[in-house]
Chain A
Amino acid sequence: MLEAKGITLRLGRAEVLRGVDFFARAGDVTAIAGPNGSGKTSLMRVLTGEAPLPGRARLNGLDVARTAPGRLAGLRAVLPQAVQVAFPFTLREIVAMGHEAGEAAGQGGVVEAALAAVDLADKAHRPLPELSGGEQSRGHLARALAQVWEPVGPSGPRWLFLDEPVAALDIAHQLQVMRRARAFADAGGGVVAVMHDLNLTAMFADRLVLMAGGRVLAEGAPADVLRDEVLEATYGCRLRANAVPSFGPWVLPQAVAV
């Protein structure tokens, strides 16, 4: 269980989070969506301990702000929006770094399996800066997977925090990554993902938390949250759920079996 209560966060003079309550259950994929600047990433930073607010966020019962980084690293892995790697580490070295940070460090084969899970087994020995943006993004996902390889560990469910995990990916890899997250949750782990793609969110998430202006505007099952008036209030533009346009081509991944 991940719980956060009354989160208010200031960055300089701006109040980026105003009294946000948030929870996520292990076994669920919990999506956070909302317009740019609504506070999604700031919320992630509090939930992962990057912006420490003592007593405000608890993961598996532990106060995130007061738990040692090494202990947290065994419980949860984080995929940030973008990572700049300063030195030409190989993809394999990067994924191994994640694996060494987890509780199963040293277990054979995990690094290779994580690379295979994101379709990058054949690029293991390439320096990361030489890979494409999407490949680097998947490489970092493999690093996070290798860190919390088993969805449930000795001290309870493990967690994946994914900040826009599919933003840089082609549609095939978007589906592959979301399936991977779904499988992690189905096996008992917890997944919290910041998402911009509402269709993929509807396909794969159990709960959707919509944010705007540093507050939670709506939360619940995607089918309940993705309603016209809620979407218009959140994004500030006209939107219609489940209305098929009569012009132009469209491609719906929902049309094929998940």
Chain B
Amino acid sequence: MADVPVLPDALRGPWLRPDGLTLALVALVAGVSVLSLGSGAAGVPLSRVLPALAGIEALDRRDAVILWDIRLPRLAMGLLVGAALAVAGGLMQGLFRNPLADPGLVGVGAGAGLGAVLTIVLGGSLGAWAGPALVPMAAFAGGWAVTMLLARIATRAGRTSVATLLLAGIAIGALAGAATGVLVFLADDTQLRDLTFWSMGSLAGASWVKLAAAAPLILAVLALAPRLGRGLDALALGEAAAQHMGVPVERTKRLAILATAAAAGAAVALSGGIAFVGIVVPHLLRLASGPGHRMLLPRAALLGGALLAAADIVARGIVAPAELPIGVVTAVLGAPVFLWILLRRAGTGAI
């Protein structure tokens, strides 16, 4: 049975092929998006959202503000953050040749958290100067700094040791966690409340301004990631085998690390710590359609975005008019799935 090219060349290669699963994921994203835009404490009902978006129906001023300035940026942030976390998870898992790897594992999350906590507790007058962008910026800087430090530690004579990276990441993550602990100890009651909410994650602070700062970075990673697919596939056979198959191994590893730091850092900066999306999404897709990263990474972006946007609907709806931190929702939904995966793997002797 020969391979018959069924698509023009422009649609082959690293890009998403419009097969059944991909179309289903696109439909899922669309469906969750419409639901998300139509649900919420203050009412712009579902029946009016689509006509309003299409420009057929004019909304009154209050509803227009709700739709365009609150719900749409919030939806966009959910889709982007979910996509960034899932793609970062997929990249880490490919890089570490381990289906249980996650950006949190290499200290990126802890570094970002430390950046955020630093500004919440010690920011004071800085906060007045830099405004609402301060905490996200500091979180991003923290994640980035940890990644750069790790890359320095793990690279000897131009070669990056993935094992050293992982172990150093655990050590630096623990240090960042300890520093965060000291700051929490120093914090006053108001700051503690801010810290708690930030650490559990939330899309509540969504705004076009914040999105404008982080979206280009996330979109760049989403565009780059599938191009690393062939290299990551080959790396599954080990670095030597990948090199023998023509993959520039060092460049692939470095790009994957940078892309992960950028995506995970930007995601944490936008929405705080959101657990499990990064681990669970790529794993589910691997079970559904195989481990090839060229398909896995773009599909992870779709499924991750849809899951986070859906979790946000739950977070807003379940205790309305208040809302749960979205990290609580993803953890409650994600942890059992993760446990199920672990048990399945333990049963087959794969752990």
User: Which residues from 77 to 104 on chain A have a C-beta closer than 8 Å to any C-beta of chain B?
Assistant: 77-78, 80, 83-90, 93-94, 97-98, 100-101
Asked if A101 and B245 make an inter-chain contact with CB atoms under 8 angstroms apart, the answer reads yes
B267 adjacent to chain A (CB < 8 Å): no
Min CB distance, A246 to chain B, in Å? 46
CA distance A101 to B230 in the complex (A): 10
Say whether, besides A69-B243, A77-B244, A90 and B290 are in contact (CB < 8 Å): yes
Q: Chain B's interface: helix, strand, loop or mixed, by majority?
A: loop
CB-defined interface of A26-53 with B at 8 Å, one 1/0 digit per residue? Answer: 0000000000000000000100111000
Measured between beta carbons, the chain B residues less than 8 angstroms from A98 are 245
Measured between beta carbons, the chain B residues less than 8 angstroms from A76 are 244
CA distance A190 to B345 in the complex (A): 42
Asked if A100 and B249 make an inter-chain contact with CB atoms under 8 angstroms apart, the answer reads no
CB-defined interface of B235-259 with A at 8 Å, one 1/0 digit per residue? Answer: 1111011011111110000000000
Measured between beta carbons, the chain B residues less than 8 angstroms from A86 are 97-99, 235-237
**Nearest-neighbor residue (CB-CB) of A129 within chain B:** B350
Say whether, besides A86-B98, A93-B290, A109-B2, A147 and B245 are in contact (CB < 8 Å): yes
Asked if A73 and B245 make an inter-chain contact with CB atoms under 8 angstroms apart, the answer reads yes
Most chain A C-beta atoms within 10 Å of own C-beta, residue among B5, B235, B244:
B244
Say whether, besides A84-B238, A85-B237, A87-B99, A97 and B1 are in contact (CB < 8 Å): no
Measured between beta carbons, the chain A residues less than 8 angstroms from B1 are 112
Measured between beta carbons, the chain A residues less than 8 angstroms from B3 are 106, 108-109, 111
Contact partner, A69, options B238, B246, B292, Cβ 8 Å: B246
A251 adjacent to chain B (CB < 8 Å): no
CA distance A162 to B109 in the complex (A): 43
Asked if A87 and B246 make an inter-chain contact with CB atoms under 8 angstroms apart, the answer reads no
A74 adjacent to chain B (CB < 8 Å): yes
**Nearest-neighbor residue (CB-CB) of A96 within chain B:** B3
B286 adjacent to chain A (CB < 8 Å): yes
A154 adjacent to chain B (CB < 8 Å): no
**Nearest-neighbor residue (CB-CB) of B243 within chain A:** A69
CA distance A93 to B290 in the complex (A): 10
Asked if B99 and A83 make an inter-chain contact with CB atoms under 8 angstroms apart, the answer reads no
CA distance A45 to B243 in the complex (A): 11
B346 adjacent to chain A (CB < 8 Å): no
**Nearest-neighbor residue (CB-CB) of B1 within chain A:** A112
Say whether, besides A80-B241, A112-B2, A72 and B236 are in contact (CB < 8 Å): no
Measured between beta carbons, the chain B residues less than 8 angstroms from A97 are 230, 233-234, 237, 245
CA distance A49 to B249 in the complex (A): 13
Asked if B97 and A101 make an inter-chain contact with CB atoms under 8 angstroms apart, the answer reads no
Min CB distance, B245 to chain A, in Å? 4
Min CB distance, B196 to chain A, in Å? 37
Measured between beta carbons, the chain B residues less than 8 angstroms from A68 are 248
User: Which residues from 54 to 86 on chain A have a C-beta closer than 8 Å to any C-beta of chain B?
Assistant: 68-74, 76-78, 80, 83-86
CA distance A74 to B2 in the complex (A): 21
Asked if B243 and A83 make an inter-chain contact with CB atoms under 8 angstroms apart, the answer reads no
Say whether, besides A69-B248, A100-B230, A89 and B290 are in contact (CB < 8 Å): yes
5 closest cross-chain pairs (CB), A and B? A73-B246, A87-B291, A86-B97, A108-B2, A101-B245
Which A residues lie at the B interface, using CB under 8 A?
45, 48-50, 68-74, 76-78, 80, 83-90, 93-94, 97-98, 100-101, 106, 108-109, 111-112, 147
